[in-house]
């Protein structure tokens, strides 16, 4: 089944429409490529617990957030959260994509990142710096080896050790998400090979390639337009409402 988000955002000074965002839940790949046509279904009509991303083997993949109540680690009311749509995994066309996670203010100075395959073998481990003021943090997969293999699912984790008061033992909080690489169709590859990153974001969004759509929006240099594009993309994907109003990282 090919499910889609229908979202449109009219962006000033560019008039770019983010429309027909294709979710990755159960997305069939035609000749190993993303961006094929299929029946339109509103993602928001699907029960959240049934909106799992099911790659080969019909394994349902959902992102995870752990570590207690919101605000238990850090000064923000928001929790540590991966930027993935709804309760599902998502797609990339890159062998070395960027992953994004929201980190609350005051959570700490560093976090640990891990990427594993279906056998739970570690493929990448990094220590990443966290901004004291919190916000979106980019994790760039290291450009080594062959990178992600098309058609395979991977899980990634970001964990933070939280200091506690009253002499209590420190505890870990983590967020995780799933990612699968696909080969973008020639039409998508051509549409995204442009200097204007919001134009590229719209093309990725229409093809259902979530991670690359997010990175393209954040990389855009038209601050007003990218804020509107981010709100449209976040809304279409069912992200936490609080994430729609956060400040995007400066370029």
User: What's the confidence (pLDDT) of residue 173?
Assistant: 86
Tell me what pLDDT residue 73 has: 64
Backbone angles phi, psi at 28, to 5 degrees: -80, 140
Q: How many residues does the chain have?
A: 251
SS (HEC) of 207-239 = HCCHHHHHHHHHHCCCHHHHHHHHHHHHHHCCC
pLDDT at 174: 87
Q: Give dist(CA 147, CA 143) in Å, integer.
A: 7
pLDDT of residue 105: 87
Helix (H) or strand (E) holding 191: helix 186-192
pLDDT of residue 216: 94
Per-residue pLDDT of the chain (251 residues; tens, 9 = 90+): 223 332 333 232 233 333 333 333 333 333 334 543 332 222 232 222 222 222 223 334 445 555 444 445 655 556 888 998 866 678 999 999 999 999 988 888 899 999 999 888 888 999 999 998 889 999 999 877 678 999 999 999 999 987 666 767 777 888 999 999 999 999 999 999 999 999 999 999 989 999 999 999 999 987 678 888 998 888 888 888 888 878 888 87
Domain spans of the chain? 4-236
Q: Round to whole Å and give the CA distance between 52 and 135.
A: 26
Distance CA 112, CA 187 (A): 37
Report the top-level CATH class of 4-236.
Answer: mainly beta
């Amino acid at each position: 089944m090919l499910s889609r988000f229908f979202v449109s955002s009219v962006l000033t000074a560019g008039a770019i429409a983010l429309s027909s965002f294709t979710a990755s839940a159960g997305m069939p790949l035609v000749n190993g490529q993303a961006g094929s046509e299929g029946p339109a279904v509103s993602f928001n009509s699907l029960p959240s617990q049934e909106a799992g991303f099911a790659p080969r083997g019909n394994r349902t993949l959902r992102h995870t957030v752990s570590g207690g109540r919101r605000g238990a680690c850090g000064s923000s009311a928001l929790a540590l959260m991966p930027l993935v749509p709804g309760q599902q995994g998502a797609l990339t066309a890159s062998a070395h994509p960027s992953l994004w996670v929201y980190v609350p203010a005051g959570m700490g100075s560093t976090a640990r990142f891990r990427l594993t395959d279906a056998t739970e073998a570690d493929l990448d481990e990094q220590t990443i710096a966290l901004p004291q003021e919190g916000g979106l943090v980019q994790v760039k997969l290291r450009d080594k080896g062959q990178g992600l293999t098309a058609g395979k699912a991977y899980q990634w984790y970001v964990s933070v050790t939280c200091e506690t008061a009253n002499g209590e033992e420190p505890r870990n909080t983590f967020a995780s998400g799933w990612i699968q690489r696909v080969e973008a169709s020639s039409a998508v590859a051509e549409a995204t090979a442009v200097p204007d990153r919001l134009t590229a974001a719209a093309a990725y969004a229409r093809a259902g390639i979530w991670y690359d759509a997010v990175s393209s929006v954040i990389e855009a240099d038209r601050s007003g337009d990218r804020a509107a594009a981010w709100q449209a993309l976040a809304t279409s994907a069912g992200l936490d409402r609080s994430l729609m109003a956060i400040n995007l990282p400066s370029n």
